[in-house]
Structure 1
Amino acid sequence: MSLKEWFQQKWVLLSLSIMMTVLIVFIVVSSFLYYDIQGGQGEQQQTYIDIALETAPIEQVETDYVYHGDEAYTVVLGQSEEESLYVFVPQKDSLNPDDVSWTSANDVMSKEEIRNKWQQSCSNCDLLSITPGMMNGRYIWELIYEENDSMVFRTYTFEEGDVYDSISFSQN
């Protein structure tokens, strides 16, 4: 083997080693950054859940949702001594306890009922999410789904399940 071939082999090995090291460092740093960001969001969400527990007459949390409308809300479905309640906590920096509101789950359409009502009117659709929220001071269910080549955001009133608002975007 000539000296030139030996240097070329060493150069290729050195280059590959450097590229692999850079790739590994990139993956590790990206992973730490991702988990740091996600952990921060989880902590913030837990803060809003704690506010719901402190403010509303619920003792335990069954599930929680995040609604992103004109104003973001954490919505907690919790259990009081007598009933289940939906608690709506606005996601804002200066939160007044009067900003938190709730309603009995017995007085509204359930998630399953709203899904069934939607399926009757949209049989060839692909449901992506169902989230409770608040729009214009009104409790709503937001359904996000795909229909044909469109992404549809449709809201229904919480109590009766009537269509409240709808917007769609073409995916073309």
Structure 2
Amino acid sequence: MKNRKTMIAYGVFIFILLLIAMYWYYSYVTQGPKQEESTAILKAKQTAGLVATDKTWKSVWADTYWVVEGTDAENRKMMVWVPFQSIKDGQDIPQQGTEGVHSELLQNGVSEEQMRTAITSANPDLEIVRLLPGVFNGEYVWQLFYKINNSYYYQFYKFADGSPVGTPFQLPNTLQ
């Protein structure tokens, strides 16, 4: 009986150690992206005058941007694009100074909800996989990743008015 209790105690102890190790590993792996996001939020607050943030996205196409949606001191919704540059070890760091940081009032553009509604009403067969703000060919855009007829595509829409930029990029159909 005593041997069985000892084995159960060891099992519980090992299980707790595994949970702690998994938590440490998760914290270590997510440390870089969380730090990037915090840096982008701070830079958006400093340059665009945000007082609260609602949502953040990391956009990677030709360049890396963190996009922060928030509210300014006058309670107006804003979007702020903060450029990052890649360095050798795969991490991204913010560009120095305020150069490249761009902010827009959300009322001067198309919100995520408006963009989703416009996309699905124009093509009800389309399945939105991901929609996030970013930069494409120097333009501030919504980047749509979608699936239709078992094929995946990227399409960009201008943030200012929701009009398409270029033609869709079809990905190779390797998932079938």
Name the aligned partner's letter for residue 126 of structure 2: C
Q: What is the match of residue 164 of structure 1?
A: 165
The 2-side partners of 1:30 and 1:62 are apart by 29
Cα displacement string for residues 127-165 of structure 1 (whole angstroms, at most 9, x for unaligned residues) = 111101111221100111111111111110111211113
Q: Residue 3 of structure 2 aligns with which residue? A: none
Deviation by residue 1:17-36 (Cα, 9 ceiling, x = unmatched): xxxx9xx9998756533331
Q: Corresponding residue for 1:15? A: none
Query: Within 2, Cα distance between the matches of 1:151 and 1:25?
Result: 42
Following superposition of structure 1 onto structure 2, how do residues 85-100 of structure 1 map, counting pairs within 5 Å?
85-92=78-85, 93=93, 94-100=95-101
Number of the residue aligned with 1:81:
73
Structure 1 counterpart of 2:142: 141
Q: C-alpha distance in 1, partners of 2:102/2:65? A: 11
User: Does residue 46 of the first structure (1) align with residue 38 of the second (2)?
Assistant: yes
- TM-score of the aligned structures, taking structure 1 as reference length: 0.78
- Aligned residues: CA RMSD: 2.2
Superposed CA offset, 1:31-82 (max 9, x none) = 5333311122112211111111111121111211111111111101111133
Farther off after superposition, 101-110 or 31-40: 31-40
- Higher helix residue share: 1
Structure 2 SS opposite 1:144: strand
Q: Which residue of 2 aligns with 1:153?
A: 154
In the alignment, what sits opposite 1:9? none
Q: Secondary structure at the match of 1:159?
A: coil
Aligned residue type for 2:169: I
Aligned partners of 2:22, 2:73: CA distance in 1, in Å? 45
| Cα distance in 2, alignment partners of residues 44 and 113 from structure 1 | 28
Counterpart position of 1:12: none
Q: Which amino acid aligns with 2:100?
A: D
Q: Counterpart in 2 of 1:67?
A: 59
What displacement does 1:121 show? 2.4
Greater Cα radius of gyration, structure 1 or 2: 1
* 1:109 match: secondary structure: coil
Distance 1:150 1:80, change over 3 A: same
Q: How many angstroms apart in 2 are the aligned matches of 1:26 and 1:149? A: 40
Per the normalisation by structure 2, the TM-score is: 0.76
1:5 is matched with which residue? none
Partner of 2:4: none
Give ranges in structure 2 of 5+ residues lacking alignment: 1-13, 86-92
Number of equivalent positions: 151
Where in structure 2 are the equivalents of 1:94-133 lying within 5 Å?
94-133=95-134
Q: Where in structure 1 are there 5+ consecutive unaligned residues? A: 1-20
* AA of the residue aligned to 1:78: G
